[in-house]
């Protein structure tokens, strides 16, 4: 269960008039990072940007540093950090530039930081998210891959570090908003019977299996409702995104796979629902704009103006629902199976998916090869009990090697 300790609540209650909170944004140049900065810029009296990080995009991070004057900027790669540092010095900025994976963890765990937005994409976000958890930060978790890869160890780090974990993924943020705080008790004790995880169905909701074999990269990148980074946009098209979210919900809310049901809802207005044993279903609704969950995470338990336009029910007119189709979207089935297998299976699923999505984005494999690669990697990997982060990192690396070797066979047969 998502952990909100009383110290944090007390702190947050006092925070309205208190001094500004320092925020580190990991993955600042991405779509979530930029939307976080958009919300922060609306509330300069509440938040101060402490650190901004990126992978390689020097120009983007330079512009953000000039606008938000963070104490630190971190680039993953040293040469990019040197370039950024030179540019900032020339422009008269006092932002200090660091580089490397360890520096990401340092700005996530820095004693002066209150809030960490974990918005790096993929398994690359794992170490810095764990560092924030161990350091007892308020973690705004967008990086779902951390929970898929290392859910048990991450939740343990959150509990041991006394961190406050606020889900940013819109569905999980919705569930959090309508879920009772059961503080470690089973969901059934709070009368919860099911989590209804809504899914837009992505750009290929109505495509036939035959058509799915030939969809292009451009078609897959054209999501109907959300503007997101390329990896999650492809995940939405294959519905692996919903699969990853099932696993994410399992860890965040202590829910079994049987308690999490995916409902296709093309309008993306209901962001998810919780069903209770008295027949009540509580939902959170809003326009599909990530600034709502981001503002919720930043201000919790307060509410903040986020810049999101009001929901106009009369304009929407109608809300539709359908069952997911596992034949056309095998990634969703594979994720349920990995959750069921447990242990290192979700980490293997995640790594194989990242490699397959990269290859699809590079036009190296076809759309329906993505689930085929993941299924083959899972079938040929041994699944072990989770023991440590180091073990998961090597499981992740081995699954990537395996995925690449399976793809080289696939490519030669195309
Ligand atoms: P983007 O691709 O837009 O941004 C990713 C960010 O991570 C960029 O700042 C990028 O830097 C940085 N980054 C990429 N690789 C590395 C690496 N190896 N080491 C350090 N930093 C790296 O992704 P999104 O913002 O769309 O998504 C971020 C996370 O949030 C994902 O886990 C996604 O699943 C999740 N999420 C996103 C939603 C959305 O609406 N976008 C909704 C729900 C969840 P650079 O710019 O230099 O490449
Ligand atoms: Mg989501």
Residue 91, domain member (yes or no): yes
Task: Please give the distance, rounded to the nearest whole angstrom, from the Cα atom of residue 365 to the centre of ligand 1.
Answer: 22
**Whole-Å CA distances, 10 to 4, 6, 64, 139:** 11, 6, 32, 17
Residues 199 and 123 both lie in one domain: no
Mark whether 351 and 330 lie in a shared domain: no
Do 183 and 319 lie in a common domain?
yes
Read off the pTM. 0.95
User: Crossing angle, helix 345-361 and helix 230-238, to 10 degrees?
Assistant: 110
Nearest ligand to the CA atom of 144: 1
CA distance 394 to 396: 5
Q: Using the atom order of ligand 1, give the atom closest to the CA of residue 120.
A: 7
User: Ligand 1 pocket check: which of 25, 27, 73, 289 to mutate, most ligand atoms within 8 Å of Cβ?
Assistant: 27
365 and 331 in a single domain? The answer is no
Assign 3-state DSSP to the chain and report helix, strand, coil percentages, each to 5: 50, 15, 35
**Predicted confidence (pLDDT) at residue 35 exceeds the cutoff of 80:** yes
Question: Whose CA is closest to atom 23 on ligand 1?
Answer: 229
With the most atoms of ligand 1 within 8 angstroms of its CB, the residue from 30, 308, 353 to mutate is 30
74 and 56 in a common domain: yes
Query: Which residues does a 6 A CB cutoff place in the pocket of ligand 1?
Result: 27-33, 54-57, 76, 119-121, 124, 142-145, 169, 226, 228-229, 231-232, 290
Strands 21-26 and 192-199: unpaired
> 401 and 274 in one domain?
no
Q: Whose CA is nearest to atom 5 of ligand 1?
A: 30
pLDDT value, residue 105: 98
Domain count within the chain: 3
Give the distance (Å) from ligand 2 centre to CA of residue 195. 14
Q: What's the gap in Å between 30 CA and the centre of ligand 1? A: 5
- Among 1-5, 70-74, 326-330, the minimum mean pLDDT is found in 1-5
The domain boundary, picked from 150, 167, 184, lies at: 167
% of the chain surpassing 90 pLDDT: 91
Residues 321 and 352 in one domain: no
**Does one domain contain both 76 and 186?**
no
Residue having the nearest C-alpha atom to atom 9 of ligand 1: 27
Tell me the CATH number at 382.
1.10.1740.10
Question: Are 11 and 82 members of one domain?
Answer: yes
**Crossing angle of helices 389-413 and 345-361, rounded to 10°:** 40
Q: Name the residue range of residue 242's domain.
A: 171-287+310-337
Q: Of 167, 189, 212, which closes a domain? A: 167
Looking from the CA of residue 226, the nearest atom of ligand 1 is 40
* Residue 323 belongs to a domain: yes
Q: How much is the average pLDDT of 382-410?
A: 97
Note the pLDDT of residue 9.
Answer: 52
The pLDDT of residue 4 is above 60: no
Of 254, 10, 242, residue with least CA distance to 155: 254
For residue 45, give the CATH number of its domain.
3.40.50.720
Q: Are residues 179 and 316 in the same domain?
A: yes
CA-231 nearest atom, ligand 1: 2
Mean pLDDT confidence for 382-396: 98
- Bridge-partner residues for 52, per DSSP? 25, 73
Q: How many angstroms separate the CA atoms of 394 and 195, rounded?
A: 33
Ligand 1, atom 18, lies closest to the CA of 124
Residue nearest to atom 26 of ligand 1 (CA): 229
* Domain assignment present for 119: yes
| 242 assigned to some structural domain | yes
CA dihedral 143, 332, 199, 282 (to 10 degrees): -90
In sequence order, what DSSP letters do the residues of 171-224 get, joined into one string?
HHHHHHHHS---TTS-GGGGTEEEEEEEE---TTTT--HHHHTT--HHHHT--S
The answer to whether residue 305 is domain-embedded is no
* Residue that terminates a domain, selected from 132, 152, 167: 167
Residues forming a β-bridge with 139: 116, 165
- Confidence band of 16 (pLDDT split at 50, 70, 90): very low
Average pLDDT of the chain?
95
Tell which residue, 4, 22, 25, has the closest CA to residue 13: 4
Measured from the alpha carbon of residue 33, the closest ligand is 1
User: Are 223 and 283 found together in one domain?
Assistant: yes
- Best probe residue, ligand 1, of 35, 52, 55, 154 (max atoms within 8 Å of C-beta): 55
Q: What is the rounded distance in angstroms from the CA atom of residue 369 to the CA atom of residue 210?
A: 13
Which ligand is nearest to the Cα of residue 271, counting in written order? 2
The pLDDT tens digits for 299-312 are 999 999 999 999 99
Does 216 reside within a domain? Answer: yes
Specify if 298 maps to a domain.
no
Q: How far is the CA of 6 from the centre of ligand 1 (A)?
A: 31
Does 18 have pLDDT greater than 70?
A: no
Residue 1 lies in a domain: no
**How far away, in angstroms, is 170 Cα from ligand 2 center?**
5
Instruction: State whether 43 and 95 are in the same domain.
Output: yes
């Amino acid at each position: 269960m998502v952990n909100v300790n009383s110290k944090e609540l007390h702190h947050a209650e006092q925070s309205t008039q208190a001094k500004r909170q320092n925020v580190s944004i990991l993955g600042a140049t991405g779509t979530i990072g930029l939307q976080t900065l958009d919300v922060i810029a609306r509330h300069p009296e509440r938040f101060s940007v402490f650190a901004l990080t990126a992978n390689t995009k020097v120009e983007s991070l330079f512009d953000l540093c000039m606008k938000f004057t963070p104490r630190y900027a971190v680039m993953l790669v040293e040469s990019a950090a040197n370039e950024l540092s030179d540019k900032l010095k020339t422009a008269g900025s006092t932002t200090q530039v660091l580089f490397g994976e360890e520096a990401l963890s340092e700005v996530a765990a820095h004693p002066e930081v209150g809030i960490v937005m974990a918005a790096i994409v993929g398994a690359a976000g794992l170490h810095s998210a764990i560092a924030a958890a161990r350091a007892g930060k308020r973690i705004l978790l967008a990086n779902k891959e951390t929970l898929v890869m290392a859910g048990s160890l991450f939740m343990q780090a959150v509990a041991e570090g006394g961190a406050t974990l606020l889900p940013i993924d819109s569905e999980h943020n919705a569930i959090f908003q309508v879920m009772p705080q059961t503080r470690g008790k089973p969901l059934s004790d709070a009368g919860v019977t099911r989590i209804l995880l809504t899914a837009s169905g992505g750009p290929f909701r109505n495509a036939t299996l035959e058509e799915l074999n030939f969809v292009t990269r451009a078609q897959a990148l054209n999501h109907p409702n959300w503007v997101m980074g390329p990896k999650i946009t492809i995940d939405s098209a294959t519905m692996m995104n919903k699969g990853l979210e099932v696993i994410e919900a399992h860890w965040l809310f202590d829910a079994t796979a049987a308690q999490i049901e995916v409902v296709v809802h093309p309008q993306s207005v209901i962001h998810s629902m919780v069903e209770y044993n008295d027949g009540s279903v509580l939902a959170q609704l809003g326009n599909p704009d990530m600034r709502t969950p981001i503002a919720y995470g930043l201000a919790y338990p307060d509410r903040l103006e986020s810049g999101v336009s009001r929901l106009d029910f009369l304009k929407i007119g109608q809300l539709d629902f359908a069952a997911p189709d596992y034949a056309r979207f095998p990634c969703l089935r594979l994720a349920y199976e990995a959750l069921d297998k447990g242990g290192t299976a979700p980490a293997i699923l995640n790594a194989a998916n990242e490699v397959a999505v990269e290859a699809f984005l590079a036009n190296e494999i076809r759309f329906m090869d993505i689930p085929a690669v993941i299924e083959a990697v899972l079938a040929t990997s041994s699944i072990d009990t989770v023991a440590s982060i180091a073990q998961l990192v090597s499981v992740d690396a081995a699954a990537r090697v395996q995925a690449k070797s399976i793809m080289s066979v696939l490519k030669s047969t195309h």
